[in-house]
């Protein structure tokens, strides 16, 4: 099956009221494990690669790897998405490399650390949508800065994310500004800030509305009922995955992620793309630790990578079921990029005024 664009996939998800997990990939084991789960669940999927993943694996390897998994699982629509593009040039090279969707994260400057102002964010994001839509490729933008409502800190991890203290205004996307931003940039999907952050250490206790502001999502959805919303930092950080890591020599401090029922609440209010990387890392690392600690004489990578892949597959299947993604792959037929480009050119994909216009059925 050809690759699908984010826009078409999320239009379908909106029509049928489900959410789509966007899993980060860096290597063959992750790609295979996620696709095995998608195939088992008949779920469309978003495979996303960060700048770090592109540096780690190279665009050529990623392209061939994704071609390979779509050949192995020909019935699964796969959206190939750039996660946190830091500048238009990064998005341009991703489009050249065959990505069907790019994120232009103009909430931060190109250094990936400094919060950007409104004019900068609108200008870089609009330049990417103009270029991407001309080729049928979708665009995700971000308004608001990801970070903790508990500490007020940005979510700097692995060299990406805002540094230092942020104001409450920066940490919560304003619904009126969201409407203006989507009108001005024409993004197909909007990532919003409401208390989630990347990595394992999101909350120091089970989050309530004071630190995970799902009401902000609801207010934005009220203003922008036809725009697909994206939740970043949406790993649940399950206790059982933390326990496996710690039981086998790891040193994770107690922590909480985003509860699945809060994501489900988001899906009822326009959240269509749910970004998950940390949970995948935890699932795999727990099994690698278990095998190597339990059998220190083992040195065949397949002996620890296979259980790691199985753990990732189990996690993905759970999320496909929980988000209602399961059962939808066979209901979608991907439209060619040229057809998407034509629809953008005629204005029939206006993100503010048009609802679910690319049905797969």
Distances from the Cα of 316 to the Cαs of 17, 23, 104, 262, in angstroms?
19, 8, 26, 17
* CB-based contact 231:274 (threshold 8 Å): yes
Residue 80 or residue 340: which is nearer to ligand G3H going by CB? 80
Binding partner of residue 235 among ligand 13P, Zn ion, ligand G3H, none, CB cut-off 5 to 8 Å per kind: ligand 13P
Give start and end residues of each alpha helix (H) in 190-268.
214-223, 239-247, 260-267
Residue 39 or residue 50: which is nearer to ligand G3H going by CB? 50
Q: Which of 81, 186, 221, 232 binds ligand 13P (CB under 6 A)?
A: 232
Q: Which neighbouring-strand residues pair with 104? A: 85, 141
The region that residue 161 occupies, defined by phi over 0 for left and psi between -120 and 50 for alpha, beta otherwise, is left
Task: Check residue 285 for interaction with ligand G3H (CB under 6 A).
Answer: no
Task: Check residue 52 for interaction with ligand G3H (CB under 6 A).
Answer: yes
355, 325, 351, 332: which is closest to 132 by C-alpha? 351
Q: How far apart are the first and last CA of the chain?
A: 15
Chain positions 81 to 120 lying near ligand G3H, rule: CB under 6 A, are 83-84
Task: Check residue 275 for interaction with ligand 13P (CB under 6 A).
Answer: yes
Residue 350 is among the residues annotated as catalytic for this protein = no
- Tally of CA atoms within 13 A in the half-sphere of 296 that contains its CB: 2
- Interface segment toward ligand 13P; rule CB under 6 A; list 66-74, 209-217, 230-238, 346-354: 230-238
Q: Which of 158, 240, 251, 300 binds ligand G3H (CB under 6 A)?
A: 158
Q: How many residues lie near ligand 13P (CB under 6 A)? A: 14
Of 11, 40, 42, 83, the catalytic one is: 83
Q: Which of 125, 227, 278, 285 binds ligand 13P (CB under 6 A)?
A: 278
43, 175, 51: which is closest to 112 by C-alpha? 51
Task: List residues binding ligand 13P (CB under 6 A).
Answer: 24, 83-84, 198-199, 232-235, 275-279
Indicate which residues carry an active-site annotation: 83
């Amino acid at each position: 099956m050809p690759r699908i664009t984010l826009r078409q996939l999320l239009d379908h998800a909106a029509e049928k009221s489900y959410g789509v997990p966007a899993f980060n990939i860096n290597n063959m084991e992750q790609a295979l494990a996620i696709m095995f789960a998608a195939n088992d669940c008949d779920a469309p999927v978003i495979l996303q690669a960060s700048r770090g993943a592109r540096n780690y694996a190279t665009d050529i390897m990623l392209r061939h790897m994704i071609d390979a998994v779509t050949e192995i699982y020909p019935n699964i629509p796969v959206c190939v998405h750039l996660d946190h593009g830091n500048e238009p040039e990064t998005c341009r090279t991703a489009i050249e490399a065959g990505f069907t969707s790019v994120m232009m994260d103009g909430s931060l400057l190109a250094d990936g650390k400094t919060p950007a102002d409104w004019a900068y964010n609108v200008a870089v994001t609009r330049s990417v949508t103009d270029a991407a839509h001309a080729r049928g490729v979708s665009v995700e933008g971000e308004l608001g800065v990801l970070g903790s409502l508990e500490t007020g800190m940005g979510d700097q991890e692995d060299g990406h994310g805002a540094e230092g203290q942020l104001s409450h205004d920066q940490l919560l996307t304003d619904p009126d500004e969201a409407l203006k931003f989507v009108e001005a940039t024409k993004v197909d999907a909007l990532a919003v800030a409401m208390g989630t952050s990347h990595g394992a250490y999101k909350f120091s206790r089970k989050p309530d509305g004071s630190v995970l502001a799902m009401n902000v999502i609801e207010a934005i959805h009220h203003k922008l009922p036809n725009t697909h919303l994206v939740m970043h930092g949406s790993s649940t950080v399950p206790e059982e995955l933390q326990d496996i890591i710690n039981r086998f020599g790891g040193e994770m401090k107690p922590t909480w992620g985003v509860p699945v029922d809060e994501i489900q609440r988001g899906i009822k209010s326009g959240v269509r793309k749910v970004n998950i990387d940390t949970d995948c890392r935890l699932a795999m690392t727990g099994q690698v630790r278990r095998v190597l600690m339990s059998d220190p004489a083992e040195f065949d990578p397949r002996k620890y990578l296979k259980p790691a892949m199985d753990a990732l597959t189990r996690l993905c299947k759970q999320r496909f079921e929980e988000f209602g993604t399961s059962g939808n792959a066979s209901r979608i037929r991907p439209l060619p990029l040229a057809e998407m480009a034509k629809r953008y050119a005629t204005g029939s994909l206006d993100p503010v005024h048009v609802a679910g216009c690319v049905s797969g059925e």
